[in-house]
Amino acid sequence: MSKRYDLIVFDWDGTVMDSTAVIAGSIQAACRDLGLPVPDDETARHVIGLGLDQALRHAVPDMPEAMRPDLVARYRHHFLAHDLAIPLFAGARETVVELHGAGYRLGVATGKSRAGLDRALESTGLKQYFHATRTADQTFSKPHPAMLFELMDELSVSAERTLMVGDTTHDVLLAQNAKVDAVAMTHGAHPPEQLQELAPLALVADFAELRGWLKANA
Q: pLDDT, tens digit, for every residue of 45-68?
A: 999 999 999 999 999 999 999 999
The single residue of 11, 167, 171, 181 carrying the catalytic annotation is 11
User: Would you state the pLDDT for residue 2?
Assistant: 72
Q: pLDDT, tens digit, for every residue of 106-153?
A: 999 999 999 999 999 999 999 999 999 999 999 999 999 999 999 999
**Catalytic residue status for 13:** yes
The single residue of 6, 13, 171, 181 carrying the catalytic annotation is 13
In terms of domains, do 57 and 122 share one?
Answer: no
In terms of domains, do 181 and 212 share one?
Answer: yes
**Catalytic residue status for 11:** yes
On the question of a cis peptide bond just before residue 37, with omega within 30 degrees of 0, the verdict is: no
Q: Looking at the 3D structure of the chain, how many domains does it have?
A: 2
| pLDDT interval class at 1 (50, 70, 90) | low
Q: pLDDT, tens digit, for every residue of 202-218?
A: 999 999 999 999 999 99
Q: Which domain covers residue 173, as residue numbers?
A: 7-19+87-217
Pure H helices in the chain:
20-34, 41-46, 52-59, 68-80, 92-101, 114-124, 146-155, 169-177, 192-197, 207-217
Q: pLDDT, tens digit, for every residue of 75-86?
A: 999 999 999 899
CATH code for the domain of 37? 1.10.150
Question: What pTM does this model have?
Answer: 0.95
User: Would you state the pLDDT for residue 186?
Assistant: 98
Which among 28, 12, 120 is positioned nearest to 74, based on CA atoms?
A: 28
CA distance 165 to 189: 13
